[in-house]
Amino acid sequence: MALTRVINEGIGSASAIAGEGTATTNLQQGLAKMWAGTDGSGTPAIQDSFNNASITDNGTGDYSFTFTNNMGNDDYSSLSGGERSNGGQANISGHTDKTTSIHRHGSKNDGGTANDMLEASYLVHGDIA
C-alpha cells in the first residue's frame, strides 16, 4: 500500500499532497469550489451542495446556481451531467453564462430541444475570491 505524504508549507500557505513518484498536488487548487446535486422533477431543488446558496429555474432545462462565496473571476471550469426526464442520459450543453456570483447551466435532449433533468450533478473548479 502506497502512503500519501502531506507537505505543510507554513501558516497561510497551501498544503500539498505527494502522490505517486515525485508529483505533488496543491490542495487549495485541487478541491471543488462548488458542487450541487439536484432533483429536477417538478420545481428544481437542491438535494445536497457545497458553496451553493440557491438554484433558480429560468425555464425548461435552464438553471442558475448562486455561489455562497463568489469566485475570483469568471474563468473557472464547470462540469455537469444527469438523467433526462424521459429517461436515459441527458445531453448537457454546459454553462450558458458564468459570472463571479452565478453559474448558469443548460441541458438539451438528443434532438437539441431544452429538457429538464430528473437528477443532475454540477461541479465547479477555480479560484474563490
Q: How confident is the model at residue 106 (pLDDT cuts 50, 70, 90)?
A: confident
* 8 Å CB contact between 105 and 66: no
For the chain, first and last CA: distance in Å?
Answer: 38
What are the residue ranges of CATH 2.60.40 in the chain?
32-125
Q: Which residue has better confidence, 58 or 89? A: 58
47: pLDDT strictly greater than 60: yes
Q: Read out DSSP for 37-69?
A: EEE-SSS-EEEEEESEEEEEEEETTEEEEEESS
Rounded mean pLDDT of 56-79? 92
4: pLDDT strictly greater than 50: yes
Query: Domain 32-125 belongs to what architecture?
Result: Sandwich (2.60)
Rounded mean pLDDT of 64-75? 95
Q: What does pLDDT average to over the chain?
A: 80
